[in-house]
A and B are shown apart, each in its own frame.
With several copies, the nearest count.
Chain A
Amino acid sequence: MVPYSTKELMACWLSRDLADREYAAVGANFPIPRAAVLLAHLAHGPNMKVGMGAFNVNLQGVDHVMSLRYFSDFWPVQWAESASFFPLDLLSIHKLDVFFVSGIQIDVYGNTNLIGIGDKQKGFKFRGPGSIGTATLATLARRYYIVTEHHSPRLFVEKCDKISAMGFGDGTPGLRQKLGLPGAGPKYCITPLCVFDFSPTTRKMRLGSLHPGVGLNQVINNTGFKIDIPEEIGETRPPTSAELEILRNRIDREGLLR
């Protein structure tokens, strides 16, 4: 088997959950989801609609795709078949199938925080960069994934100080429907150690699989909340050599994931 990095594992695993014809958006400065979407597109999704910055691109036949320096880069224009119509497209973003969210805090119910840390009603101990588009996109996209390059008790907390993108709130059954949120919410949370899914009854994060070589205690010790652990724990399926070939030669020549 070809050796691979944890980030490559994460990208390959995510890519398999994306289907052909889906509409998925890729931002800048979020290399794992970017690689996942492009890998899905090049490996099995020739009809995917891929949002790259403010363009919709199709990359069939493109030898290799450099990564965005910034979200508003102009150069993807060369592969663009359309550009986002503002405000029309942002206001009709519920047609987005797949979105990705991160946070400076992630809690047991899949809520994420990009706003800031601190208990006060106003003011912050640590101010985050802001919600960007996540408050709405996590609501409206048909499903989303929480992706983080870190796994620590400070990141994975019982309850976010502030919620910028609501996952399952306080776990009340049917809360998303009650709040009128059309999207299904977070499907998986993937970290450098493991994959979490969400219990359909409690809506809490549940251990889905451990990455190869990761021990259960490593996850428990690095998570700030009590994890729902099933009887049998699977292993995250590693990248295939075919996946790695596309990933390394066409998507990540710069080696951001290595």
Chain B
Amino acid sequence: MDRQSVITDEATALAQIRDGMTVALGGFITAQHSMALIRGIAKRGIKGLRVVAGLSSALEVDLLIGCGCVQRLATAYVGAEATVPIGPFFKKAAEDQTIDLWECDEIILMAMLQATAAGIPFFPVRGGMGTDLPHLNKDLKEFRDPIHNDPLLAVPAMKIDVAVTHAYCADPYGNVQYAGNTFADGLIHRAAEKTITTVEKVVPTAYIRRDPFKTLYTADFIVRSPFGAHPYSCHGEYIEDDEHLKGYANAANLATKGDDSAWKVYRNQFIDTPEDHMDYLEQIGVKKLFSLNEF
């Protein structure tokens, strides 16, 4: 009996994600989202997802909203900072109330993940008291601490079916290492029942063993996806593709204002037509990709 590789293809990985599931996405604002799989979710038209975007999202959840995949969204932010101050589809869906928002800030989101990871029903926090978050998010409950009677906010755990993260590398047995910041990915992995990780590189286990302290978690499925975070950055490999982000935001913006011609073109070119991530990268082109290399 041999040790089994957990490296799989996109289709097998995506088959783990089904309509109505709660899916937690890794990365932080414009870094390290598993776009290879997120585009795959959109292409397959998976519906009714309850998305947890931790620590904070960029526009990857905006894209999922635009493609009709999202029923509920837990996130503290949707945007790409100065490049795209707010996600267009998110803005419209929030204004029209076509998605449920689990309103929170980043630390309340982490408290939820921490409760889930620790197998406890809730995590107590001070942040958010006095704000409108408990009014907007009925899952948050003010209570008195049982020891000193201090006022606190109880943030409940949330069952998370699948975590989808992107990392620098993994070995064939799912040991995942990052080249830079890991953000909340270690916590997200521990909060989820199952983890799928796309990686820039598959490395031999000997590479992992050079510094086992760098292994952040052991994923259940690994998908080989160079440039898998494009148009977002992957520490140690490439930076954001601002031009692509602006193109996306422009198309999405027009679509929310009733003109979906540019969005149809974007969606066709980058989501629906490409068979898989490699096909998508062909659309982006080698020159563009390697122009993004960091340092």
Contacts and interface: CB of A to CB of B under 8 A. Distances in A.
* Touch A–B, Cβ below 8 Å: yes
Contact of A86 (B82, B118, B186): B186
B46 interface: no
Given A131-B77, A181-B126, A47 B4 contact: yes
Interface in B33-86: 55-56, 75-83, 85-86
Given A46-B1, A81-B218, A82-B215, A139 B184 contact: no
A182 B119 contact: yes
Interface string B82-103: 1101110011001111000001
Given A72-B30, A133-B76, A54 B126 contact: no
Contacts of B173: 47, 58, 81
A135 B107 contact: yes
A87 B184 contact: yes
The main secondary structure of chain A at its interface with chain B is: loop
B41 to A, nearest CB: 22
B152 interface: yes
Interface in B194-229: 205, 208-209, 212-213, 215-218
Contacts of B95: 116, 123-127
A82 B126 contact: no
A29 B136 CA distance: 27
Interface in B212-263: 212-213, 215-218, 233, 235-236, 239-240
A70 B232 CA distance: 11
Given A60-B3, A81-B212, A123 B110 contact: no
A46 B2 contact: yes
Interface in A113-142: 115-116, 121-137, 139-140
A121 B182 CA distance: 36
Contacts of A28: 81-82
Contact of A122 (B78, B97, B208): B97
A139 B127 contact: yes
Contact of A72 (B29, B76, B119, B295): B29
Most buried by A among B77, B150, B215: B77
B94 A116 contact: yes
Contacts of A216: none
Interface string A127-159: 111111111110110000000000000000000
A44 to B, nearest CB: 6
A29 B55 CA distance: 18
Nearest to B27: A72
A129 B129 contact: no
A188 B193 CA distance: 27
A20 interface: yes
Interface in A63-79: 69-75, 77-79
- In this complex, the interface size class of chain B, counting residues with CB under 8 Å from chain A, is 35 or more
A214 interface: no
A187 interface: no
A164 interface: yes
A233 interface: no
B16 interface: no
Interface of B: 1-4, 27-32, 55-56, 75-83, 85-87, 90-91, 94-97, 103-108, 110-111, 113-114, 117-119, 125-133, 135-136, 150-152, 171, 173, 175, 180-184, 186-187, 190, 205, 208-209, 212-213, 215-218, 233, 235-236, 239-240, 294-295
A70 B1 CA distance: 31
9 nearest A-B pairs in the assembled complex, by CB-CB distance: A136-B127, A166-B130, A82-B215, A72-B31, A136-B107, A135-B105, A80-B212, A131-B105, A127-B94
A88 interface: yes
A118 to B, nearest CB: 8
How big is the A interface, by class?
A: 35 or more
A51 to B, nearest CB: 12
Nearest to B77: A130
Contacts of B190: 88-89, 92, 95
Contacts of A166: 129-131
B99 to A, nearest CB: 11
Nearest to B135: A121
A92 B133 contact: no
A83 B106 contact: no
A69 B114 CA distance: 30
A77 B110 contact: no
A163 B103 CA distance: 12
A47 B218 CA distance: 12
B136 A115 contact: yes
A136 B105 contact: yes
Given A79-B209, A87-B110, A92-B117, 20 more contacts: A46-B1, A47-B4, A55-B181, A56-B212, A71-B30, A72-B30, A72-B31, A73-B239, A81-B218, A91-B110, A95-B190, A115-B103, A115-B132, A123-B95, A126-B95, A127-B90, A127-B95, A164-B131, A180-B129, A182-B119
